[in-house]
Amino acid sequence: MRTVADHLAAVLDAARPVPALDAVLADAAGCVLAEDVVAGHDVPLFAVAACDGYAVRTADVGLPGPGPAPEVVLPVVEDVQVVAPEPLRLVPGAAALVAAGAPVPAGADAVVPLDRTDRGRARVVLRGGAEPGDHVRPAGADVPVGSTVLTAGTRLGARHLSVAAAVGRSRLRVHPRPRVVVLTVGDELVEPGRAAGPGRRPDANGHALVAAARDAGASAVRVGPVPDERGGLREVIADQLVRADLVLITGGLSPGQWDTVTDVLAPLGTVRFDHVAMTPGDRQGFGTVQVADEATDLVHPGGLGAGGVGVPIFALPGHPVSAMVSYEVFVRPALRAMGGHTGVYRPSVRAAVARPLLSPAGLRHFVPARLTGSPADGYLVDPVGDPSKVSLSQLAAANALMVVGEDTTRVRAGDSLACLVLES
Amino acid sequence: MRTVADHLAAVLDAARPVPALDAVLADAAGCVLAEDVVAGHDVPLFAVAACDGYAVRTADVGLPGPGPAPEVVLPVVEDVQVVAPEPLRLVPGAAALVAAGAPVPAGADAVVPLDRTDRGRARVVLRGGAEPGDHVRPAGADVPVGSTVLTAGTRLGARHLSVAAAVGRSRLRVHPRPRVVVLTVGDELVEPGRAAGPGRRPDANGHALVAAARDAGASAVRVGPVPDERGGLREVIADQLVRADLVLITGGLSPGQWDTVTDVLAPLGTVRFDHVAMTPGDRQGFGTVQVADEATDLVHPGGLGAGGVGVPIFALPGHPVSAMVSYEVFVRPALRAMGGHTGVYRPSVRAAVARPLLSPAGLRHFVPARLTGSPADGYLVDPVGDPSKVSLSQLAAANALMVVGEDTTRVRAGDSLACLVLES
């Protein structure tokens, strides 16, 4: 029996960040940056007006003072469009109409906003004076040339794409989203919505695990349900390996005569099956496989997986609750690590337990539970239903997994336990 | 001048949930459920084995007791595949080999796990006895028929799709993701990465706002940059309105001669432009527009927007910091409401301010800031750079927006302020 900690360590050891590549901005969103981004030029390139108004020399309009607002009249010599065909120069004793964002003509050192003018087009009345720099955003005000605007490791959200675009980048070097293939195995599985005859049941894991992988920042495709037949399963896995950074299989794990997945995976690589000291989800398959090139029968360089360690492959138990808990505990951290994320674990909080419960000795017990409260007031956690009989209904109604340690067999009301906060 | 609260109220009044529709499970992920899901049958349909083992009558194997484990030998009469062609019945005085998940034959009332047997195929040695129900999951153990497994308003994550599939649903009634069109306007805008000539700059808003809208659960497309030209812009907006639940325009808002967006939107509907008492982002356009049917010149029923109030349209300021702050304060809550989410606001925490700052009277001041700390230890917030000079660099380096109220002009170190936590 392997501990949860040992199994997780083995998983994370094999889950290397997917090698970085250049992605267009649209594809880079949500990925982790794999380079520092340094501004190659000032943003803005030239001094620009911070608002609509008249660009002036402060010497011509006077300084703002405590007395009545001085009023000057200047001829309007220019009408500066945002896109100026060439740099303009303001002659002394004149004003130029400028739009917000338009370059301030050389010679001008301030902008008087429209609402302190009579908005004149040939000549303009300007009130209140101006100090040098008023309503002017100098070159580099947003981003000075040479500054590092984004650092490697940043998960690219909207504001990061905004600054990358502003410094003129159309592509960024990122860890791409890991490509996950979700494969459900079992003669008994039918497509949800199809009639489930005797001994048949809908595939509850396929869509759920695809959604879970996407929520972790991966891209995912669903394959199956695939029958419990060795030849066919071997072929499907070989086909999928060429496009996968990680393969996620559920079902087909029985140690009796039905252990299709065990038989198929054994010769492919280092996949091993362990009883892990946890409940639900005690039987876990994990390892890495190399992708062979069909033509040469050699290992394909593109199929070595991230860091040349092979493609991680998980064989999770088939029961949907076991599968989902196993995903949360082992697969999700692996996917986050492969995406280059620094935080690989879900947020976890400590909460006071609402009801006493018994927990099996020697096993880490993950209990579907409702977490309520707030950081300020503290959290309360209440198992959904009977914690000794884990069911899909409980998982669906839960918003957290309460974690009862291996050495704890009796939890009292009010005890404080760690809880994994599931997405809502 | 309109307050932030008044403007937000007007926005939320127009942002009705997008009408519900039936979506396949793959598309329903991440959407908000618009129906209660009730189980039409038990899950599992019949009693199934909870582990691999031998189905027995407890009368034949004896009860577990404190003494030495009783041992019995029974003939193995069946080998129950998971997919049984017809219901089986166990005769008295015999055992049936069953895989985890396989139906337990009628007559059997317990399963003895493999590791308490000699794994015999013709006859099997069973140790330790069994109590009725041992290692059997009765019909309905996961989901009893008639139970409500999901309630309207649930945001569909992996575990919800799992239970929906298990009860046989291939489609769910959901509020679909609002479809957002992001339109950037300005003669000065070029595609990021293209050469930016005099007075030209890369479009920093397009990709960023698409990413922001997707992060809020919307689907989004980017259109533009579109030149500052009334005829062309009118045509682009008309084209996009037919496929939009919400239109997001940035730039083209100058009140001088360049106010293309103002002119184009004015005749289309109820769009109004307000100075909103906030910084950055004081000038905001918002309203709803009806979509006319080209052929009949009548308002198209599909273009009335959610709830028949018209398609919400935002005209945000063009500077990327103003655009992004305006998005966070007004657009994101609208998108969340349109997606049917009950929580429309970002998480907000109170934090102690690290440095004193001055803030303009009468304006709500959104300051890009770094938030550190934890719920347990409390939070500290530090403005990025000089709060009086907001820049794109600051926004990119921030992980929160510190909110200084309209009546606060002086913030002291240690004061507690609300902070919007940005996505990381």
Rounded to 5°, angle at Cα B70 from B64 and B71: 125
pLDDT at A388: 87
Q: Does residue B257 register a pLDDT over 70?
A: no
Say whether residue A38 is in contact with chain B using an 8 A CB cutoff. no
Distance from CA of B154 to the nearest CA of A (A): 8
Band of residue B252 on the pLDDT scale cut at 50, 70, 90:
confident
Domain spanning B48-137, CATH architecture: Beta Complex (2.170)
Indicate the range of A51-55, A408-412, B266-270, B375-379 predicted with least confidence.
Answer: B266-270
pLDDT at A261: 81
Of A411, A371, A403, A416, nearest to A8 (Cα)? A403
Mean pLDDT across the stretch B91-119? 90
pLDDT along chain A (424 residues), means of 10: 96 94 96 97 91 92 80 84 69 90 90 92 92 94 97 97 97 97 91 80 95 96 88 88 92 65 80 92 88 48 52 92 97 97 92 96 96 88 92 96 96 96 86
Cβ contact A69:A129 at 8 Å: yes
A-B contacts at Cβ under 8 angstroms: 292
B148-196 confidence digits (pLDDT tens)? 999 999 999 999 999 999 999 999 999 999 999 999 998 889 999 887 7
Say how far apart CA A249 and CA A327 lie, in whole Å: 11
What is the per-residue DSSP string for B193-225?
A: TS---TT-EE--SHHHHHHHHHHTT-EEEEEEE
Minimal-distance CA residue of chain B relative to A199: B83
Q: CB A158 to CB B200 under 8 A? A: no
Minimal-distance CA residue of chain B relative to A392: B142
Biggest alpha carbon–alpha carbon distance for chain A: 97
Say whether residue A103 is in contact with chain B using an 8 A CB cutoff. yes
B42-62 confidence digits (pLDDT tens)? 999 889 998 889 999 999 998
Q: Is the dihedral of CA B258, B264, B270, B271 positive or negative?
A: negative
Question: Where are any strands of DSSP class E within A50-147?
Answer: 53-56, 71-80, 95-98, 110-113, 123-127, 136-137
Say how far apart CA B164 and CA B158 lie, in whole Å: 10
pLDDT at A87: 66
Mean pLDDT across the stretch B95-107? 88
Band of residue B308 on the pLDDT scale cut at 50, 70, 90:
low
Distance from CA of B160 to the nearest CA of A (A): 5
Q: CB B162 to CB A208 under 8 A? A: yes
Question: Where are any strands of DSSP class E within B47-200?
Answer: 48-49, 53-56, 71-80, 95-98, 110-113, 123-127, 136-137, 148-150, 171-175, 179-185, 189-190
Question: Does the domain made of A22-43+141-175 have the CATH classification 2.40.50.90?
Answer: no
Q: Does residue B292 register a pLDDT over 70?
A: no
Distance from CA of A165 to the nearest CA of B (A): 5
- The domain segmentation of chain A, as residue ranges, is 4-18+178-338, 22-43+141-175, 48-137, 348-421
Phi-psi group of B146: left, alpha or beta (phi > 0 → left; psi -120 to 50 → alpha; rest → beta): left
**B309-340 CB burial, b ≥16 within 10 A, e <16:** ebbbbbbbbbbbbbbbbbbbbbbbbbbbbbbb
pLDDT at A291: 67
B198-220 confidence digits (pLDDT tens)? 778 899 999 999 999 999 999 99
The listed range with the strongest mean pLDDT (B21-25, B126-130, B227-231, B259-263) is: B21-25
Contacts of A68 (CB under 8 A, 6+ apart): none
| Residue numbers in B near A144 (CB within 8 A) | 393
Say how far apart CA A328 and CA A420 lie, in whole Å: 9
Say whether residue A160 is in contact with chain B using an 8 A CB cutoff. yes
Helical segments of A267-399, H only: 320-326, 332-338, 392-397
Q: Does residue B242 register a pLDDT over 60?
A: yes
Say whether residue A118 is in contact with chain B using an 8 A CB cutoff. no
Q: CB A166 to CB B210 under 8 A? A: no
pLDDT at B309: 61
Cβ contact A352:A361 at 8 Å: no
Phi, psi angles (nearest 5°) of residue A378 = 90, 165
Of A330, A338, A336, nearest to A310 (Cα)? A338
Say how far apart CA A85 and CA A80 lie, in whole Å: 10
Which residues 355-384 on chain B approach chain A with CB closer than 8 angstroms?
A: 375-376
On the question of a common fold for B4-18+177-338 and B348-421, the answer reads no
| Residue numbers in B near A166 (CB within 8 A) | 192, 201-202, 204, 320, 392
Minimal-distance CA residue of chain A relative to B283: A51
Contacts of B53 (CB under 8 A, 6+ apart): B97, B98, B111, B112, B113, B114, B116, B117, B135
Say whether residue B278 is in contact with chain A using an 8 A CB cutoff. no
pLDDT at B85: 61
Instruction: State which amino acid sits at residue B143.
Output: V
Hey, of A136, A142, A177, which one would you mutate to test binding to chain B, going by the most B CBs within 10 A of its CB? Answer: A142
pLDDT at A64: 85
How does the average pLDDT of chain B come out, rounded? 89
Phi, psi angles (nearest 5°) of residue B310 = 95, 165
Half-sphere exposure for B423 (CA within 13 Å, toward CB): 21
Token pair of A16 as six digits:
């290397």
CATH of A4-18+178-338, one of 3.10.450.710, 2.40.30.10, 3.40.980.10, 3.30.465.10: 3.40.980.10
Burial class of B31 by CB neighbour count within 10 A (0 to 12, 13 to 18, 19+): buried
Say whether residue B191 is in contact with chain A using an 8 A CB cutoff. yes
Interface confidence (ipTM) of the complex: 0.91
| Residue numbers in B near A391 (CB within 8 A) | 141-143
| Residue numbers in B near A140 (CB within 8 A) | none
CATH number of B21-43+141-175: 3.90.105.10
pLDDT at A85: 61
CA–chain centroid gap for A205, Å, is: 22
CA–chain centroid gap for B107, Å, is: 47
B4-18+177-338 belongs to which CATH class? alpha beta
B348-421 belongs to which CATH class? mainly beta
Distance from CA of B228 to the nearest CA of A (A): 10
Say whether residue B228 is in contact with chain A using an 8 A CB cutoff. yes
Element (H, E) at B373: strand B364-374
Which of A26, A257, A318 is nearest residue B101 as measured by Cβ atoms?
A318
Which residues 192-211 on chain B approach chain A with CB closer than 8 angstroms?
A: 192-194, 196, 198-211
High-pLDDT (> 90) share of chain B, % = 66
Q: CB B170 to CB A191 under 8 A? A: yes
Mean pLDDT across the stretch B337-360? 94
